[in-house]
Structure 1
Amino acid sequence: MELYIRLKLILKNFGIKKHLGLLDSERNSSISSSMDYPHFCALAAQNTKVFEHFRTNPIYTAILEHVSQDIGQQYLNVILQRKCFSMQDFESFKRNDLYGGGGNI
């Protein structure tokens, strides 16, 4: 898979949450701007073995896969209330779970 496409897949969830204001800006800037997260994203984009399981790595999960189901539901409620995405968008988003060991469709 092309490097650009891999990076786009890895960072897509982060960008959506940031755009919707669902992340605490102080936490977001301090954790995700540390060198660990960008370095790990670059590594996952360049290394097929790392990319296959990047969503289970603690560096990634600390930023994007760390919330409980209840908080995730709260995020979804805000998204639905703001009417930010169409049902077709949601179907498209499901494809993200095919990459990096997500598997939560």
Structure 2
Amino acid sequence: MPPIEDMTPEEIQEWMDALEKEMLRRQNLALFQEKQTELHEQFRNNGMLPKADFGEWEKPEESVDAYGVGDVVTRNGKVRRAKAGMVVCEPSCDEHWEDAGEEPEDE
């Protein structure tokens, strides 16, 4: 991108339009994720989707197998808790997972 002082009014308008479009996308994405999480939790609470058992993370085969808010799994010796609903990424993804303590010792 050239310095703004060197841009034509048309180029500035193109950037402004692109920025406005990106802001709208981000706002809609946040709302979509919020509603998706609510729906996932509602299905879990109604017994339509099972709650994940504490155990080793497994890649969900379908969206109905996705992890929900509060699901706790282990992966590579770490215990992780899902921060959102419909989580299908690995627990190393900090956007959707958080640390949840130490892995229990084998007895």
- TM-score bracket for this pair, using the shorter chain length: under 0.3
Greater RCO, CA 8 A, separation 6+: 1
Q: TM-score, normalised by structure 1?
A: 0.24
More helix per residue:
1
Normalized per residue, which structure has more strand? 2
Higher-Rg member (1/2): 2
| TM-score for both structures, normalised by structure 2 | 0.24
